[in-house]
């Protein structure tokens, strides 16, 4: 279970920069990426589910609305909300179902979120993907942002793939498979490369998080 932390994050960025001049240019242009980190919690998983296929701003608005409604976000409190109440927190019909599936898994003990740090990458993915609404992207983001595992590069992340094309000077029509092949050279630190690429994407567009 190879993971990184705040202490060695910049060192690993430098290691990749020595290996790849395009990644080095990101650091020279924008500085180091933030050490993005999220708590190991039910609320974090709800937030990542909300981020599926929408802008970070939209997801955050829904998350904050939910927080405003119920305070501390727990599985038990989600279970008490009606569909109408969740809809009023900007949850789509689909994400209402996903939130309920996750809450049910947590309240019945079929998913113990606190046990995930002690599991291997594959075990974490398997545990999370048992739950309807959690697929590869959600599991990957949890592994990258919460558990800080070293070597993930989610192909379903549109911003990441777009940034990789821009940074590597690849034509817009370049296939996802080609980008993933290019990412092979960043092993076993593809998560660090992803942080750099997300950083470039955000800074280039002046996105406020």
What was the pLDDT predicted at 17?
98
Is the confidence at residue 21, as pLDDT, over 90? Answer: yes
User: What average pLDDT does this structure show over 18-22?
Assistant: 97
The answer as to whether 3 is a domain residue is no
**Residue 208: band (very low, low, confident or very high) from pLDDT cuts 50, 70, 90:** confident
Co-location of 60 and 110 in the same domain = yes
**Residue 209: band (very low, low, confident or very high) from pLDDT cuts 50, 70, 90:** confident
Co-location of 20 and 85 in the same domain = no
Which one-letter DSSP state was computed for residue 50?
A: H
Co-location of 89 and 179 in the same domain = no
Co-location of 55 and 127 in the same domain = yes
Q: What ranges in the chain are assigned the alpha helix state H?
A: 9-19, 21-30, 42-50, 56-70, 75-80, 83-87, 93-107, 121-129, 136-141, 158-168, 176-183, 190-204
Query: Domain of 177: which CATH number?
Result: 1.10.1670
Co-location of 57 and 86 in the same domain = yes
The pLDDT tens digits for 59-78 are 999 999 999 999 999 999 99
Co-location of 58 and 20 in the same domain = no
Query: Percent of the chain, pLDDT > 70?
Result: 100
The answer as to whether 127 is a domain residue is yes
Is the confidence at residue 173, as pLDDT, over 90? Answer: yes
Give me the domain span that covers residue 188.
Answer: 9-36+152-204
Co-location of 116 and 163 in the same domain = no
The answer as to whether 209 is a domain residue is no
**Residue 46: band (very low, low, confident or very high) from pLDDT cuts 50, 70, 90:** very high
User: What average pLDDT does this structure show over 135-145?
Assistant: 97
List of residues 6+ apart from 136 with CB closer than 8 A:
125, 129, 154, 155, 156
Residue-averaged pLDDT of the chain: 97
Co-location of 50 and 122 in the same domain = yes
**Among the three residues 116, 146, 176, which one is the final residue of a domain in this structure?**
146
Which one-letter DSSP state was computed for residue 33?
A: P
**Residue 54: band (very low, low, confident or very high) from pLDDT cuts 50, 70, 90:** very high
Residue with the two structure tokens 């070597």: 151
* Euclidean distance between the first and the last CA atom of the chain, given in angstroms as a whole number: 29
Angle at 33 between CA 29 and CA 35, to 5 degrees: 165
Angle at 150 between CA 148 and CA 156, to 5 degrees: 85
Co-location of 138 and 156 in the same domain = no
3-state class (DSSP) for residue 161? helix
Query: Percent of the chain, pLDDT > 90?
Result: 97
Is the confidence at residue 25, as pLDDT, over 80? Answer: yes
What was the pLDDT predicted at 91?
98
User: What average pLDDT does this structure show over 98-115?
Assistant: 98
List of residues 6+ apart from 194 with CB closer than 8 A:
144, 152, 153, 154, 157, 160
Domain total of the chain: 2
Residue pair 153/165 in contact (Cβ under 8 Å)? The answer is no
What was the pLDDT predicted at 129?
98
Query: Domain of 113: which CATH number?
Result: 1.10.340.30
**Among the three residues 146, 171, 186, which one is the final residue of a domain in this structure?**
146
Co-location of 141 and 49 in the same domain = yes
The answer as to whether 181 is a domain residue is yes
Co-location of 64 and 139 in the same domain = yes
**Among the three residues 100, 118, 146, which one is the final residue of a domain in this structure?**
146
Is the confidence at residue 150, as pLDDT, over 80? Answer: yes
Co-location of 189 and 114 in the same domain = no
The answer as to whether 102 is a domain residue is yes
């Amino acid at each position: 279970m190879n993971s990184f932390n705040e202490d060695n994050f910049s060192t690993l960025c430098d290691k990749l920069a020595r290996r790849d001049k395009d990644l080095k240019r990101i650091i020279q242009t924008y500085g180091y990426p933030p050490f993005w980190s999220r708590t190991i919690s039910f609320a974090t998983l709800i937030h990542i589910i909300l981020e599926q296929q929408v802008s970070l701003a939209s997801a955050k608005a829904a998350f904050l609305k939910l927080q405003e409604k119920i305070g501390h976000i727990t599985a038990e409190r989600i279970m008490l909300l009606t569909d109408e109440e969740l809809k009023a927190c900007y949850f789509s019909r689909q994400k209402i179902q996903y939130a309920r599936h996750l809450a049910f898994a947590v309240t019945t003990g079929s998913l113990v979120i606190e046990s995930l740090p002690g599991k291997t990458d594959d075990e974490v993915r398997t545990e999370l993907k048992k739950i309807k609404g959690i697929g590869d992207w959600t599991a990957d983001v949890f592994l990258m942002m919460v558990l800080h595992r070293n070597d993930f590069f989610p192909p379903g992340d549109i911003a990441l793939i777009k940034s990789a094309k821009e940074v590597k000077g690849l034509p817009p029509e370049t296939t996802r498979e080609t980008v993933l092949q290019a990412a092979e050279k960043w092993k076993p630190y593809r998560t660090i490369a992803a942080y750099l690429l997300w950083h470039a994407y955000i800074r280039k567009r002046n996105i406020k998080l």
